[in-house]
Structure formats: structure tokens, C-alpha cells
A and B are shown apart, each in its own frame.
Chain A
């Protein structure tokens, strides 16, 4: 079942890791912010619907919104205090999204719903899934897909392997690394819950081999569960991408256009696994997460941050910028989103805040395509980025579709390697958008 040799995938790139600054820094709890701004949409799917009003008093973990449909999750107060406003606010992904602002009353009162049940493994599968839904869990690797949906494959899709994603292949990011070292028991318990929900007999934890201490620690704890295996992966970007991870661990190829459940696998991030444990054992909703703050900042750290904290607080706590920054990225440098405001809040999928200066981020111009084919050589999905991007620029979206534009996982390897500095993945994203627009008409 598990691939024994050559655990990797075809393609991919090797950007400089830059994890050395934070990989040995234990997680620090950042002081609570004066206020939090919690967007009603921090996940893929339908936005959640607000259930509180201006002036309401809330405790940590109280729900402030309910799911807006099946593929949706509720949001919760991450600090205790008073709801001061419910209005559109800057969101990390660019648009303004309605958000609930809560002013801190300094007391950090936990909701009465939060309590530990030592017998959590005896909940039924449905009870566990309900707890996960009610806790507002979404994929914390960054994709933020509603967890309860992911753990409920439709009838007919037989799942036999559960996979835990500890690859963390993006440069700079070390939040998953530190979680695996410091919250090992919780992650493994969360994985047990996942394995029970999916009803599988095999759980594989994939960790890149640049985190050898995490691999040892996880192995130490997982050893008492024979259904679990901890597997070391070659370091290459994007090893943490679902399809590549599944292939590296099991040699199964997810068919084009389909999901991992097609080959019997479900993948969850290690941070999500810990949140699952919190949700099922403690009925504790998703109100905080670990964020790596790295780059041109005085003190690079891994911080435990309440959801909704403005990123200004993180930057101030880390001592501020070392010099005038050129880019502030939410996420990793390969797939993250550039931010324009320090008032943007941390959301469920914020794995890192990376501050870059022009020496580390390319700000120069684009030159014409040399047809060198490097992008084709390294594409993990084996499509042809230069040709698709060219079609996109000429608005030939049918041709782009013919050249498998929809299979692009948007990892950014092509743009990274291109010597002409063409914004390949940006053009492909545009083609994908246009193609799906046409399909939805």
C-alpha cells in the first residue's frame, strides 16, 4: 500500500527553504488584541450567516454565525467582549467581506459549551461529524475546505486510506513543523478520530525529511497505533499538494478533474487534525491557530494567534519591520496572497505572514517567452504552462481548455522557474476563470 522507494513525484522546484529562522522557535502565545474582526467567510463554499447583533456580549467560542448551507461552516468569537459592528471589512483574499468586530473586555471568558469529555473516542461517527461542523472547522493548510464535508464522501466512494499532510512544502512556513513537535499527542488523537470517521484501516502521515525531529516525535507517539505509519518524504515543492502527496505515499494517481476520494484517499492537514481533536474532545471551536511570521521582521516567530487578530498586532509583537517592506504575504511565498493593509485579520487559513523586500521577491520586468520548456519540465501536473498562458493572453480559452488548463493546481512552480519572468500561473488562473464562467452559463 505504501510506496517503499522513491517517495516523490515528477516535476516540482526547489526554492530556498528559509525555514532556519523559525523552525527551532517554540510557539509563542501573542497577547490578546484589543479587537478582532471575524469575516463571515473564511472557507470555501457558502458564506456563513450572522446570528449576533451589534451590542451583544460574547464569550470565547460562542457562535457568531451559522453555516450558510451544507458546504459552509459557522464562525465563532475568538475573544470575549462586545460586538461593535457587523459590516464589510478588508479580507485577505482581496474583496471586502462582511465581518463581525468584537471589542475585547480583557477577561478571556471561555464559552460554557467548552468542556472536556475523556470518552470522546466513543462518540458515534455522526456525533463526531456534528461536533466538527459546529466547531467551524475548515482545512488549515490554507485551502479552507469545510472539514465535515471532506470527511463525508458520498455513497459509493469507498475510502481505504486516511492521509495526514505534514509536508509544509512552502518556504518560510514552520507552523505545522512546530505543531508536530509541541502538540504531537493532540495531532495523533485527531488522526484517530479521522480514521474512525472514515472507517479506514490505514492512516499515513507524510512529513518532508527536512523536519527529521518532527518525524521522530510523531513516530514516537504514533507507534502505539498500528494502523498509523509515519513516512518521510523528499523535500520538493509542491510535495504538500494533495495529488502529489497521495502519489508519493501510495503511488495512486488522482484522475484529472476528480478528487482524492476517487482513489480511496482523504487528506487532512496536521493543524486541522489538532483542531478536530479540540472540537471532538473539548467541543472547542476553531478560534486560534499557529502563524509563522517571517522575513524582513526584527524577530521571526511562530505565534499562536486568535482568529480575527489584525496582522498589525503580529508585526508589532515581532518588533516591527527591519526595513521598509515591499510585500506582505498571507500564506507562503509560492501561493500566498499579497496584502495591502495591516488591518487585515488573521483567518482560519492563515499559515504565515511573510514580509519580503525586493532582494527576495522579483520586481523586474517580463521578457518574451523563449520556448525553453522549463515550465513544462517542472510542472507537477504535466501540463504546458507556456502554451496555456499564451492562449490566455490571446483570449483563446477553448484552446486553453484543450491544453488541460483546468488541471492546473496553481502551485506557481512554472512562474518560479521561468527565465523570462512571465506570470504564467496568473495567466492560467485567468484562463481557468474564463473557462468555468463559460461552463456555468
Chain B
């Protein structure tokens, strides 16, 4: 092959470095989408095809909303980066499978339009858009959001056969409250003991709950993929889950301190989904290792408090949103000590 060295070569002059790693924002976002597929398939198995339709509706609304708003703002359309798709999936994953179709549509619209685009789009939102959408839905349609549960295939909403009306954390919260009421104490005590038999159901996902949160194993498979790809790291999930376990073990028991059931609390509710997929959303969490440890710890404390003494049985969404607000503070004040400094 004849080489040529004419002076008419058009050469690019740009600043060093001239090589870059292969990761892109788009690759990360689609990596997250892939990691959520096991849990999605699980939710179709447990809750029926409705789970899929709600998720698809949520995704379509999210992407369309972003497209529309960027068009109105006259800025570059960036729906191909996949971040709206991720928000759509995660919002749907935070809904009970029995909610009406317009819940994910309104929630998704809110997540993108208000929680993300009003702040300037990707990278500028202070709070997790999917969680803010869920919080909005919870405040506006509390009955749908707290009672439209579907019983899983061949299972019960609570994970134990003696109770069929409520989800695991709600059952526990109720039982702990009833321990101090005379004529309900015995039954409550029995319920708490029975809940210990539900670990397997909680692990596989044969319980009631939001579409994406129930199957621990399927979520862990997805999280494993993200860790392998180095799209997330273990600091926040580890500190979050460990703090919840510790907190609930110390304070969440029926017979005083250190009688709580940490394994139950880790497997039940939305903790695994929250710790690995929402609290690891890079944009709304600290960028320093130290900040990330503190973030996870803070989420754990808030989750523990809400679960044990707050009004709701589940506290993951609010905990993450509250810690999101602390992220700028953590980033600003946890300055690294430079090498040799």
C-alpha cells in the first residue's frame, strides 16, 4: 500500500489526552437497563403481564416527555443517552402492580419534567427523578400507592400464609405496634415469629410489593453485572444495607434492644432495589469515596427511623431523597487531601 504524506492532510488539533476509555454515559445507562431485566422478568412471573405493561407505559412516557420538553426548551434532544429509559423503568419498579395505568404515566411525566428537566436535564437534578416521582404519587394518590398490591403467583402478599392482606414490612410494623395492646399481643407475637419463616419467599420474590423490589436474588444478579462493569461500586450499597441491619437489630425488636431481625429488614421492602439501583445514581450522590460511605450510612439511619417509628412501613424512597439533598454539602466539604499535601 502506498503511503502518502501530502501537506493537505486535515489534522485535528485538540488537547491531550488523545485517547479515552471506552465507557460513555450511554453505555452506562443501557448497562443499567440490562441489569434491571432479570427483575423485570421476575415481576412478570410473579405479578402477571400487567407489570410489563405498566413498565412499558412508564418508559414511553418518560422518553416522550424528555423529547417534548427538550424540543420546547430548544436544546439538543438527548433521549438516546438512555437516562430517561432508566428513570421510566425505576419509576415503574416503585409502583404496586395493581395501580391504574395513568399512575405510571403521570408519575413518569413528573419525574422527567419536574424532577429532571426543570433543573437543566441530565447531570443537574439534585434528587433522584424516579424517587421524586414516586414521592409525588404517594402524596397525591396514597390509597392506590399503598393498597393496590397484587399477590404473587402461588404466594401471599405478606410472604406468610396466615396473613394475606398486607406486605411484609407492614405486617411487621403492625405486629410490633400490637405487642403493647393486650388482646392482640399474643397473635402479634406469633406473627413476628412466623415472619421468620418467610426469608426464602423474600429472597426469591414470592411476596407482595412494588413491581421491581420484591425479588432479592434477581436484583442481586443485576447488581452483580453493574459491579462487574464497574458502573457502580460497593461503598453506598454496603454502608446502606449494613446500617439498616445494625439499626433494626438494635432498635427494631419486640423484646427491647438487640432483639431485632436484621435479615428480615434487609430482604424485605425496597432496600435491595434502593441500595443497589437508586442510591447509586451517580448524579445525585457524592463523588468522593468518603462522601459515599457517609451517604450510605445516612440513608440507613433514615430508613431505620422511618421503618420503626415513622408513619410508613417503608422508608427507602424518602431516605434516599433526603440524603440526595445533602450531596452538595458532602462534595463541597469533604475535600481530598492531595498527594504530599
Contact = CB atoms under 8 A, between A and B. Distances in A.
A15 interface: yes
Contacts of A412: 16-17
A327 B18 contact: yes
Interface in B2-18: 2-5, 7, 9-18
Contacts of A316: 3, 5
B337 A371 contact: no
Interface string A301-339: 000000000001001101111101111110001111111
Contact of B12 (A363, A383, A416): A363
Nearest to A368: B123
Contacts of B338: 256, 381-383, 404, 407
B23 A419 contact: yes
B13 A376 contact: no
Interface string A129-145: 00000000000000000
A417 interface: yes
A86 interface: no
A413 to B, nearest CB: 8
A419 B122 contact: no
A318 B336 CA distance: 47
Interface stretch (A100-108, A265-273, A354-362): A354-362
Interface stretch (B162-170, B215-223, B279-287, B306-314): B279-287
Contact of B16 (A334, A341, A418): A334
A319 B19 CA distance: 24
A297 B9 contact: no
What is the predominant secondary structure among interface residues of chain A facing chain B?
loop
B19 to A, nearest CB: 5
A284 interface: no
A339 B123 contact: no
Contacts of B13: 338-340
A377 interface: yes
Contact of A336 (B12, B16, B121): B16
Contact of B17 (A298, A407, A415): A415
A124 interface: no
Q: How large is the interface on A (under 10, 10 to 19, 20 to 34, 35 or more residues)?
A: 35 or more
Interface stretch (B24-32, B86-94, B127-135): B24-32
Contacts of A380: 339
B5 A342 contact: yes
B285 A371 contact: yes
Nearest to A311: B5
Contacts of A69: none
B81 A367 contact: yes
A322 B339 contact: no
Contact of B19 (A325, A328, A362, A382): A362
Contact of B123 (A371, A377, A387, A426): A371
Nearest to A14: B21
A88 interface: no
Contacts of B21: 13, 15, 416-417, 419
B9 A324 contact: yes
Contacts of B78: 367
A368 B121 contact: yes
A404 B336 CA distance: 9
B143 interface: no
Contacts of A223: none
Interface in A356-397: 356, 360-364, 367-373, 376-377, 380-384, 386-387
B256 interface: no
Contacts of A16: 19
Contacts of B28: 370, 372, 419
Contacts of B327: 371
Interface in A44-99: none
B255 interface: no
Contacts of A243: 339-340
A364 B22 CA distance: 12
B97 to A, nearest CB: 31
B339 A382 contact: yes
A360 B19 contact: yes
A403 interface: yes
Nearest to B336: A382
Contacts of B259: none
B335 interface: yes
A157 interface: no
Contact of A334 (B19, B24, B340): B19
A421 B26 CA distance: 11
B289 interface: yes
Given A322-B1, A327-B11, A333-B17, A407 B335 contact: no
Contacts of B12: 326-327, 338, 361, 363
B24 A421 contact: yes
A328 B341 contact: no
Interface core residue of A372, A410, A426 (most chain B CB under 10 Å):
A372
A253 B10 CA distance: 44
A423 B123 CA distance: 16
Contact of B20 (A258, A407, A416): A416
Contact of A416 (B17, B282, B331): B17
A324 B10 CA distance: 8
Contacts of A337: 16
B197 interface: no
B15 A426 contact: yes
B18 A320 contact: no
A377 B331 CA distance: 14
7 contacts: A15-B21, A171-B19, A316-B5, A368-B123, A370-B282, A382-B336, A404-B336
Given A297-B3, A327-B12, A376-B336, 7 more contacts: A255-B341, A316-B5, A333-B17, A340-B11, A416-B20, A419-B28, A420-B24
Interface of A: 10, 13, 15-16, 171, 243, 247, 253-256, 258, 297-298, 312, 315-316, 318-322, 324-329, 333-343, 354, 356, 360-364, 367-373, 376-377, 380-384, 386-387, 403-404, 407, 410, 412, 415-421, 423, 425-426, 429
Closest 7 CB pairs of A and B: A320-B3, A368-B123, A412-B17, A373-B287, A426-B15, A362-B20, A372-B282
